[in-house]
Structure formats: C-alpha cells, structure tokens
Amino acid sequence: MAKITLRQLLDDAAERGYGVPAFNINNMEQGLAIMEAADTVDAPVIIQASRGARSYAGDIMLSKMVDALVEMFPHIPLCLHQDHGNDEATCATAIQHGFTSVMMDGSLHPDGKTVSDYGYNIDITRRVAEMAHWIGASVEGELGVLGSLEHGSGEKEDGHGAEGTLGHDLLLTDPDQAIDFVRATGVDALAIAMGTSHGAYKFTRKPDGEILAMRVVEEIHRRLPTTHLVMHGSSSVPQPLQDMFNVFGGEMPQTWGVPVEEIVRGIKHGVRKVNIDTDCRLAMTAAFRKVALQSKSEFDPRKFLKPAMDALRELCRERFEQFGTAGNASRLKPITLADMARRYRSGALDPKIEHITQAA
C-alpha cells in the first residue's frame, strides 16, 4: 500500500469519529514497534519526524526506513509527517524526501524559540500550504503557543519551544482568530494551545480545567466543526512508566501528563491527531534501565532494544485502541499525491467555513 496523506486519513477519522496518535521516531526500532502494534489492531499510522530526528538519522535513512516499513506492512496506511517545521525550506525538503504531510509551525520564528506575531504566522503558513497543496501533500498549522498554564513557559524539546514567560492570551488559542486563520491559510489541520507542553514535566498535579483547558478545544470545535484539530504535548506520562524508570535507577521527579480520558474527550470534540513522543521515549528508556540494572554483564544492544520495543509496541497498541484508531486500516485505500493535488486545485478541499459565525 502506498503512503497516505494526513488530509485523507483525518477526513476518514472525522467521518467515523476516531483520533490518530502521531508517534515520533528517530530509529528503526521505534518504526518497527509502531508498525507491529498497528498491524495487531488494524490501525492506520502517523509517523512523524522532528527536525532533530532528521538530523539524527539523516533524511535518506529516515525516508528509506519508512519505505521499508511500507513494504513490510503493505496493508497499513502510513502517513509520514514533518513535526514542527520551522520554515519553508524544512517543509519543502521533507516533501522532497517522501513526507506526505508537513507541519508549518508559524507560532514561533524559524529559531524555534521566539514567539511570532499573527501576521507572520498567517503569511508563512499560507505560503507553505500553497506549495504543499500543488504537490498534494497536507499541511498542519499552529495557532497559539504551547506552554504551561501553571507557570507560563514552554518545555524546550531539542531546541524547539517558546522562550520566556507567556501570558494566557498566547497559551490559549483564541477561537475567533482560529476561524480567521483557517480561512486565510487553507490548512488541513490546526494545532491549538490549551495548556499542554512538550516533555515529561507538563503538570505539577493531576490536571483539571484550570491547567488543562479542554473547554478551548470544545469551543473551537463548536465554531469550526469541520476543521481537524491537533493536540501537541499529549503524552500521558503514565505512573507505571515513571515508577519503572525510577525503580531501576532513574531520577524522574513526580509529574503528571495529559490523562487519556481528556484526550478521548478531545476526540469527541474534533481532535483527530494526537502527538505523542515523551511516552514512547519513557517506555523504551525504562526498559533499558531495567536490563542495565538486572543484567549487569549484558553487552549485546539487542538485549536492551528488544524489551524496549516490546514496551513501545504495547504503549502504541493501547493508544490505537483508546483513540478508536484500531480497525480502520484495511478499509482505507490511499489516494495518490497527484490525485490529492487535483482535488486541491478544484477547490474540493478548501476549508468549509463560510457559514461560521463569530463569537456571540
């Protein structure tokens, strides 16, 4: 089966009311574990690579590895997505290397840390959407800035994340602005800010509506019912994984992530793509720690990597089931990029927001 675009996959998810986890990868073991999990439950897949992943593995390695995954799992539709593209060149070169979807994160300047203004975000996102749509690839934009409502700052992931302390005006996406942004840019999916942040340290307590503003998701979905919403920073940082990491010599202070039930609530209100990286890292690294501590003479990396892949496979399978992604792979017949490009040109995929009213 060919790769699938984000747009086709999320259109299907919206029609049937499910969400799709987007798992970050950097290496073969992560790719295999995700695909094996998807295979077990017949789930379509979004694999995403950050700029950090692209420089870690190299574009050729990443794209050929994903081609291998497509060949090995021909019945599983796979969308390869650029996570947090910082400028036009990052997005264009991703498509050149076989990505079927890109995120243009214009909420920050290309340095990945300076908060941009609204005009800048619209301009760069619209330019990338025009370019990608000529080819048939999909585009995710971001409006609002990821960061904690508790302390007003973002968590830097490998150089990406807002610097300084931000106010709630930036940390919570404005629903009226969201309508204008989608109309002006033509994005296929919209990442919104509601109090999640990247990394393990999202909340200092189990989140309630004060610090995880799911009401913002609901309000945006009410105003933009046909726009596919994206939740970033959506690792749950499960307690058993934190405990395992610490029992085997790790030092992770107690922390809270995004509860799965809140994500499921989001999926009922238009969230179609759910970004998860930290949980995958934690699952694998906790398993490494266990082997390192229990088998001190072990020096074969495979003896570390196999249990790590088992742990990641189990995590991914759980999320595919919890988000309703399971059972949807075999039904999907990927539309080619050329055909998607024709549909964009005809206007058939334009945002459907003419009838939408602004705030009462």
Active-site annotation, residues: 83
Considering only the stretches 63-71, 88-96, 157-165, 307-315, report the one whose residues sit in contact with ligand G3H under the rule CB under 6 A: 157-165
* Non-local CB neighbours of 300 within 8 Å, separated by 6+ positions: none
Q: Hey, what are 219's tokens?
A: 């309000």
Smallest gap from Cβ 263 to ligand G3H, in A, equals 16
- Residue 234's binding partner among ligand 13P, Zn ion, ligand G3H, none (Cβ under 5 to 8 angstroms by kind) is ligand 13P
Query: Is-contact 20 10, C-beta < 8 A?
Result: yes
CA distance 245 to 338: 46
Which segments of the chain are extended strands (E)? 20-24, 45-49, 78-85, 101-104, 138-143, 189-192, 228-231, 271-276
Nearest approach, Cβ of 354 to ligand 13P (angstroms)?
31
Minimum distance of ligand 13P from residue 200's CB (angstroms): 7
Closer CB to ligand 13P, 136 or 313, in the complex: 313
Quickly count: other Cβ atoms within 10 Å of residue 299's Cβ: 8
> Under the criterion CB under 6 A, does residue 317 sit at the interface with ligand G3H?
no
Stretch that binds ligand G3H, among 153-161, 174-182, 210-218, 308-316 (CB under 6 A): 153-161
Cα end-to-end span (Å), the chain: 47
DSSP state of 125: H
Q: Please tell me whether residue 158 binds ligand G3H under the rule CB under 6 A.
A: yes
Whether the Cβ atoms of residue 164 and residue 109 lie closer than 8 Å to each other: no
Report the alpha-carbon distance of residue 15 to residue 312 in Å, rounded.
Answer: 29
**Does residue 82 touch ligand G3H according to CB under 6 A?**
no
Q: How far is the CB of 351 from ligand G3H (least distance, A)?
A: 25
Per rule CB under 6 A, is residue 234 in the interface with ligand G3H? no
105 binds ligand G3H (CB under 6 A): no
Q: 231 has which bridge partners?
A: 192, 274
Q: Which of residues 169-208 bind ligand G3H (CB under 6 A)?
A: 198
Do 18 and 9 touch, CB atoms closer than 8 A?
no
Most distant pair of Cα atoms in the chain: their distance: 67
The stretch near ligand 13P (CB under 6 A) out of 129-137, 173-181, 275-283, 303-311 is 275-283
Contact 291, 307 (CB under 8 A): yes
What string marks each residue from 114 to 153 as x (binds ligand 13P by CB under 6 A) or -?
----------------------------------------
Judged by DSSP in three states, 339 sits in: helix
Q: Residue 154's binding partner, choosing from Zn ion, ligand 13P, ligand G3H, none, with beta-carbon cut-off 5 to 8 A by kind?
A: none
How much of the chain is helix, strand and coil, in % rounded to 5?
45, 15, 40
Work out which of 202, 228, 232, 319 binds Zn ion, going by CB under 5 A. 232
Cα distances from 360 to residues 32, 175, 183, 215, in angstroms, run 49, 12, 19, 16
Contact track, ligand 13P, 47-86, x by CB under 6 A: ------------------------------------xx--
Q: Does 140 bind ligand G3H (CB under 6 A)?
A: no
- Positions touching ligand G3H (CB under 6 A) are 24, 50, 52-53, 83-84, 157-158, 160, 198, 277
- Positions touching ligand 13P (CB under 6 A) are 24, 83-84, 198-199, 232-235, 275-279
